[in-house]
Copies of this chain bind each other. A is one copy, B any other.
Amino acid sequence: MTDSGEERDDVSLVYVVGRVNQGIRREMRQHLGQWELGVPEFTALSILRRRPGLSNAQLARRSMVTPQTMIEILAGLEARGLVQRAGDPDHGRILRAQLTRAGEQLLDSTEPGIEQIQEKILAGVPKRQQQIVMDVMLRAMERLRPGLDN
């Protein structure tokens, strides 16, 4: 049996965000599989390229996961030589992470496919609307972040 379309009314944002994310993750997983890279790993690499020198705790906050979760992701990336970490000279305990050359290269190979997913789901959507979606989602992120601080 074939399924009919979805109506525009009475559906919550929480719901659509969840469903869209589910679909995106599925495609990402499939795409990233060829490099043995998981979605959380890809996400961490992406953030680190934009923000070299983040600590594990900072990275966790940006990813909206607990530091315990992030440490595992980071440990895996470090073990594979995609990320390297060095102690902050002014702060004994903090370890600042950044991509290695290999990490950058791997990220470069994977990203076109990810952008393709994005283009696929945004095809034909006016730039102005895209901008509004980004703004609203970024505000949502900020509202969600505080509850995450340990």
Contacts of A125 in B (CB 8 A): 136, 139
Q: How big is chain A's contact interface, by range?
A: 35 or more
Oligomeric state, in copies: 2
Report whether A13 and B122 are in contact in the complex, using a CB–CB cutoff of 8 Å: yes
Q: Is A135 an interface residue (CB 8 A)?
A: yes
**Measured between C-beta atoms, what is the minimum distance from A103 to chain B in Å?**
17
CA distance A23 to B13 in the complex (A): 13
Task: Name the residue in A16, A62, A115 with the highest tally of chain B Cβ atoms < 10 Å from its Cβ.
Answer: A16
Contacts of A43 in B (CB 8 A): 15, 18
**Measured between C-beta atoms, what is the minimum distance from A40 to chain B in Å?**
9
* With A125-B139, A138-B11: A20-B144 Cβ-Cβ less than 8 Å: yes
Binding site for B on A (CB under 8 A): 1, 3, 5-6, 8, 10-28, 39, 43, 46, 50, 55, 57-58, 61-65, 91, 94, 114-115, 117-118, 120-123, 125, 129-130, 132-145, 147-148
Contacts A/B (CB < 8 Å), 7 sampled: A1-B55, A1-B57, A5-B142, A14-B28, A14-B117, A21-B21, A27-B147
